[in-house]
C-alpha cells in the first residue's frame, strides 16, 4: 500500500498552499505540518486515490490505513481515518488495536473525535458484548485521549445509546480537571439529550454538584 500513500502525498503536494497550511497549524495549535489543502480539495484527492487503489481484504485494509496514518502531514492522517471508516465491513473488534494506536498517536481532538465516533462507536454498536468491556477499561486509562474516546463513543447512537453506560462514564470522570474530559462529558450528554431530554435533564440536575460547570452547561444547553 505504499504506492497508495505515495500517490496521495504527490497529489496533495500539487495543490498545497503554504500560507493556508500555516493558518491551519496555528488554528489547531500543532507543530504537525499541513499541506494547506481545504476539506473539499483533499476529499477529491482521496476519492481518486480510492478509485485507483481499491481494497479487497482485511489485510489490505489494515496496511492501507497504516500506510496513510504514518505519513507526516495532517491531511494524510485525515485520509487514513476516512479510509478506515469508509470500509465499514472491516470496522470490527479486530481493528480496535489499530484504532487505539491512532488515538494515542493522534492525541488531539480533530483526530480522536472522528476515530472515537466513526470507528470505536461503530464497533460498539455492532459488537457491544466484546467492546463494552474494553471501554470499561478505557474509561480509567492513564491516557487522557483514550478516556475521552470512551466517553464520546456513543455520540451518534441516538436511541441505541446505552444510557447506563453513558451516565456511568460521565460520573466516573466528573471530578477530572482536564478541559477535554469536561467538554466530552457535556458534549456526550448534550447529544443524547436530542434523544431523551428528560433523562439528561434529570441526570444533570441530580449530579449538578459533581459535574463541572462546563460539563453541566454543555449538557443542559437546550434543556434549561
Closest C-alpha among 141, 121, 145, 144 to residue 132: 121
Q: Are 219 and 190 in contact (CB under 8 A)?
A: yes
Domains of the chain: 1-90 (1.25.10.90), 121-224 (1.25.10.90)
Q: What is the pLDDT along the chain (224 residues), one digit of tens a residue?
A: 889 999 999 999 999 999 999 999 999 999 999 999 999 999 999 999 999 999 999 999 999 999 999 999 999 999 999 999 999 999 999 999 999 999 999 999 999 999 999 999 999 999 999 999 999 999 999 999 999 999 999 999 999 999 999 999 999 999 999 999 999 999 999 999 999 999 999 999 999 999 999 999 999 998 87
pTM (2 d.p.): 0.94
| Spatial separation of the C-alpha atoms in residues 121 and 77, rounded to whole Å | 19
Which residue bears the cell 477499561?
137
Q: What is the pLDDT of residue 35?
A: 96
Amino acid at each position: 500500500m505504499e504506492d497508495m500513500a505515495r500517490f496521495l502525498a504527490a497529489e496533495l503536494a500539487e495543490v498545497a498552499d503554504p500560507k493556508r497550511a500555516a493558518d491551519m497549524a496555528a488554528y489547531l495549535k500543532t507543530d504537525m505540518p499541513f499541506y494547506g489543502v481545504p476539506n473539499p480539495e483533499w476529499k477529491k484527492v482521496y476519492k481518486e486515490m480510492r478509485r485507483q487503489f481499491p481494497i479487497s481484504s482485511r489485510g489490505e485494509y489494515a496496511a492501507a490505513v497504516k500506510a496513510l496514518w504514518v505519513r507526516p502531514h495532517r491531511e494524510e492522517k485525515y485520509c487514513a481515518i476516512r479510509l478506515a471508516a469508509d470500509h465499514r465491513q472491516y470496522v470490527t473488534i479486530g481493528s480496535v488495536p489499530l484504532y487505539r494506536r491512532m488515538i494515542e498517536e493522534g492525541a488531539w481532538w480533530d483526530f480522536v473525535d472522528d476515530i472515537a465516533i466513526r470507528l470505536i462507536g461503530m464497533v460498539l454498536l455492532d459488537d457491544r458484548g466484546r467492546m463494552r468491556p474494553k471501554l470499561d477499561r478505557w474509561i480509567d486509562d492513564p491516557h487522557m485521549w483514550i478516556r475521552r474516546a470512551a466517553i464520546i463513543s456513543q455520540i451518534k447512537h441516538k436511541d441505541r445509546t446505552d444510557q447506563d453506560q453513558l451516565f456511568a462514564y460521565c460520573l466516573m470522570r466528573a471530578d477530572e480537571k482536564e478541559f477535554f474530559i469536561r467538554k466530552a462529558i457535556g458534549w456526550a450528554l448534550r447529544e443524547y439529550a436530542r434523544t431523551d431530554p428528560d433523562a439528561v435533564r434529570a441526570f444533570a440536575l441530580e449530579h449538578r454538584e459533581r459535574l463541572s460547570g462546563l460539563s453541566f452547561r454543555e449538557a443542559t444547553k437546550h434543556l434549561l
